[in-house]
Amino acid sequence: MSGTVDLDALAAHVRELGPAAYLVSVGDGPAPHVVSVEARFEDGALRAAVGRHTAANLAQRPAATFVWPPAGGDHSLIVDGTATVDRDGGVVAVRPTRAVLHRVAGAPAEVPSCIALERS
């Protein structure tokens, strides 16, 4: 990571794209586990209700990635972070460590391919 995530910019993008996102975790096997969630940005973390499988994955391996598809634009939002699972296992809080806007396939070549959301 080259800088600290600009949480204000991240919060603005999450509001713009809405709560529907995908959350990626990794279990015991080599394949990632991807689920659809409703995420909200609160107190410097992305929070989402999750099922038992995702909660168990993140309790063992706290690396998490959220992905928001583009909402009519040229970029998806991808946020990597470290997850904490609540005591009941129903909600995760992910502290962002890296956030980028990534150009979608088919976007014009003049559109930047990757824009980091970091404080300078």
Q: Regarding the domain delimited by 7-116, which CATH topology (the fold level of the hierarchy) does it fall under?
A: Pnp Oxidase; Chain A (2.30.110)
Domain boundaries, the chain: 7-116
Cβ-contact 107, 73 below 8 angstroms: no
What is the rounded average pLDDT of the residues 49-70? Answer: 95
The confidence score (pLDDT) of residue 59 equals 94
pLDDT of 3 strictly over 80: no
Q: How confident is the model at residue 41 (pLDDT cuts 50, 70, 90)?
A: very high
Q: How confident is the model at residue 88 (pLDDT cuts 50, 70, 90)?
A: confident
Predicted TM-score (pTM) of this structure: 0.92
The confidence score (pLDDT) of residue 1 equals 38
Average model confidence (pLDDT) across the chain: 92
